[in-house]
Structure 1
Amino acid sequence: MKPGERILGVEGGGTKTAWVLVETVLGANASAWEFRLLEQGKLPASNFRLTSPERLRAILAELPKQIDRAGVFLAGCGTEEDRCALKQMCLEIWPNAKIVTGSDRDSGLAAALDQGDGIVVNAGSGSSVTGRRGERIERAGGWGHILGDAGGGYFLSIHALRLVLREHDLGRSEMDFTAKILRVLSLNNLDELVRWVQTADKMELAMLAPVVFEAATGGDGRMMEIIEEGARVLCEYSEAVASRLHLLAPKVVLIGGLFQRDSIYTHAFRRRLKKNLPDARVTTAERAPELGAAWLAAELGDHITVRE
């Protein structure tokens, strides 16, 4: 790599596609590289499994064209076949660039841990837990919303909606949460809500998770139980990954839209993990995954400083 290379980092999931364009510059001691931030932005969701190839091409085509390297890491891009297909798609857009592709797990790990050991817990529309010790990588969850994105936004939303219908079927009084959901979706009644859910996709359902948080913060105990259940599963995955990697006091980094620094979900996760993994050091990510994507595209072994 040489000074002045333009590197595009892209991280896509069920809610958005975040990207950053950086330029490589030599650091003050002339032996370390730095990134100078040129541009950044957000585009629509780009889950590799849930977004059609045509739509995915259209999203990628909106990104900056004049680049030397690109790291494109999307949720759902989990196999070698997926990575090759995504790389070929990228080469159609950037034929002269050096392309690296993979899963959002990879870019999240790079952004959160640099080259260090630890565990990354990602909770957005879906969820995943990924740990590293040396060259060894262990994973839990992240199987998609049908088989197991437990603890993600879809998980929380669908559990809350099922509770609404169960309470209705049992003839109990309408929950305050029902009114909140109807108001957010501009619907009039439960029948309209059911019809909406039957045609909504994963991303649309996951977007209701903030309503679950709002209800729990307002004192709705049943919504708090759903939040606690999501946190419990993610903690179990984290403990399993730590055990397989023999990490007794791991660094645990929280990333994804559900883990804002002071969110009710972040606090629920911290409380529960403290019980079973008391020496874990839990923190929220300081760098965005799209910077991890750019770092992987640079193919450098050391941490790179970012100049604003």
Structure 2
Amino acid sequence: MEYMIGMDSGGTKTEAVAYSLKGKELARCQTGFGNLLMDKEKGLANIEEAMNILFDRLGEKNCQSVVIGLAGLDSGDFKKELDTYFSRYQPAIIFINDAWLSYYALVKEKDGCLVISGTGSICIGKYHEETARVGGWGNVLGDEGSGYWVAKKMIHHLLLQEDTNGNYSELSKKLMSTLQAKTVFDVVHYFYTHKKDEIADLTMIVAESANLGDKSAIEILKEAGYILAQQAKLLISKLEFNKEVTIGITGSVLKKNTIVYDAFFENLVQCPLKIKLIKEIESNTIGGYYYYKNNILRSEEY
């Protein structure tokens, strides 16, 4: 049976699923991380291992294509090197940014948009043959509405209190307690000496405080939702959607925090279009199948 492989290769694991050309799951496997920015040699080995497990089960000669959503693909500039490295395999091995893998997993065969808010944030979309993005400029220049941004706003909130009257809110006290910080300088030191995903993890402090009714925490989360909605509306305008639009949403900040999601939804629906929101999928690997169906299988038919 002819098949293709969709693969989601991220910072913690590589998940690969073989699909029939009708989209039926045939087999799956999981190996270690595939983000080449973490360790290129080990990441490549994990990607190859996942491919070979499925080739052994279903036959390499029957595989028409492997579509791999790879974290760090753009920032690492690995495309040419990867094409050369995987050229010895019979199937076409196609690498796309992991954000576009999520896009196809959620939006599938339609034109639409994807809003991501996890550690970072970005909005991407496609309308007819045009693609566009809004945001996603990294934690220093952008990533508004992301986990990193939420945590940074919480720290700004603490520093503003230090600069004004020194009366810390419950949110600020919880932050200092969590970090076992004796002074604000300990918090600042933590911020400048930890990785962005570790900073983004501090979002849980904001979420927990908001659930207890802390007004400052609630406002930060509402602002995150509002900003993400504004970016989505900017992308909709940029791509010139005029009647309806399908929007996929993913990332822990937007999917798991009801305050962020509600603020996002309330601001987004003010857009004068029919909007369909999608946020539930079983696996991002199905995005590889829909990428194959839309961009490869369809072109072969013509």
1:112 Cα offset (Å): 1.0
Structure with greater contact order relative to length (CA < 8 Å, sep ≥ 6)? 1
Contiguous gaps of at least 5 residues in structure 1? 27-31, 303-308
Equivalent residue of 2:99, what SS?
A: helix
Q: Deviations over 1:60-114 (max 9, x none)?
A: 423425145543323443389543244456x39x856632112122111110111
Q: Is residue 2:71 matched to residue 1:71?
A: no
Aligned residues, how many?
284
The match for 2:41 is 57
Partner of 1:39 in structure 2? 29
Matches within 5 A, 1:141-290: 141-247=135-241, 248-260=243-255, 263-277=258-272, 279-290=274-285
Deviation by residue 1:176-235 (Cα, 9 ceiling, x = unmatched): 223333444455543322221111121211122222222222222222222222222221
1:111 to 97, 105, 111: 105
Q: Give the Cα separation in 1 of the matches to 2:81 and 2:218.
A: 41
Alignment of 1:5-44 (within 5 A): 5=3, 7=5, 9-12=7-10, 16-25=11-20, 32-40=22-30, 43=33
Q: Structure 1's 295 and 243: CA in aligned 2 closer, same or farther, altered over 3 A?
A: closer
* Residues 245, 273 of structure 2: 8 Å contact kept: no
Q: CA offset at residue 277 of structure 1?
A: 4.4
Judging changes above 3 Å, is the alpha-carbon distance between structure 1 residues 193 and 262 closer, same or farther for their aligned structure 2 residues?
closer
Counterpart secondary structure, 1:259? helix
CA distance in 2: counterparts of 1:290 and 1:252, whole angstroms: 18
Over 3 Å counting, the alpha-carbon distance change for 1:57 and 1:230 in structure 2 is: farther
Distance 1:301 1:79 in 2: 29
Partners of 1:20 and 1:294 within 8 A in 2: no
Amino acid at match of 1:39: C
Q: Is the 8 A contact 2:14 2:46 kept in 1?
A: no
For the residue of structure 1 that corresponds to 2:145, the secondary structure is coil
Which residue of structure 1 lines up, in the alignment, with residue 287 of structure 2? 292
Instruction: Report the CA distance between 1:269 and its aligned residue.
Output: 0.7
Q: Percent identity?
A: 22
Structure 2 residue ranges without an equivalent (≥5): none
Counterparts of 1:130 and 1:235, CA distance in 2: 13
* Residue range with higher mean Cα deviation, 213-222 or 274-283: 274-283
Between 1:148-157 and 1:244-253, the stretch displaced more is 244-253
Larger helix share, 1 or 2: 2
Alignment of 1:85-96 (within 5 A): 85-88=81-84, 91=86
SS of residue in 2 equivalent to 1:173: coil
Change (3 A) 1:35 1:105: same
CA contact (8 A) 2:171 2:216 kept: no
Give 3-state SS (helix, strand or coil) of 2:252's partner. Answer: coil
Equivalent position amino acid for 1:270 in 2: F
Counterpart residue number, 1:83: 79
CA distance in 2, matches of 1:115, 1:79: 27
Stretches of 4+ moved more than 6 A in 1?
none
Normalising to structure 2: TM-score of the pair? Answer: 0.80
Residue 244 of structure 2 contacts residue 274 of structure 2 at CA under 8 Å; is this kept in 1?
yes
Contact 1:20–1:291 (CA<8 Å) still a contact in 2?
A: no
Measured on the aligned residues, the alpha-carbon RMSD in Å equals 3.1
Using a 3 Å threshold, how does the CA distance of structure 1 residues 80 and 196 change in structure 2: closer, same or farther? closer
Once the 2 structures are TM-superposed, how far is the Cα of residue 19 of structure 1 from its aligned partner? 3.0
1 CA distance for matches of 2:43 and 2:75? Answer: 21
TM-score, structure 1 length as denominator?
0.78
Shift of 1:278: 6.0
Give the match's secondary structure for 1:174.
coil
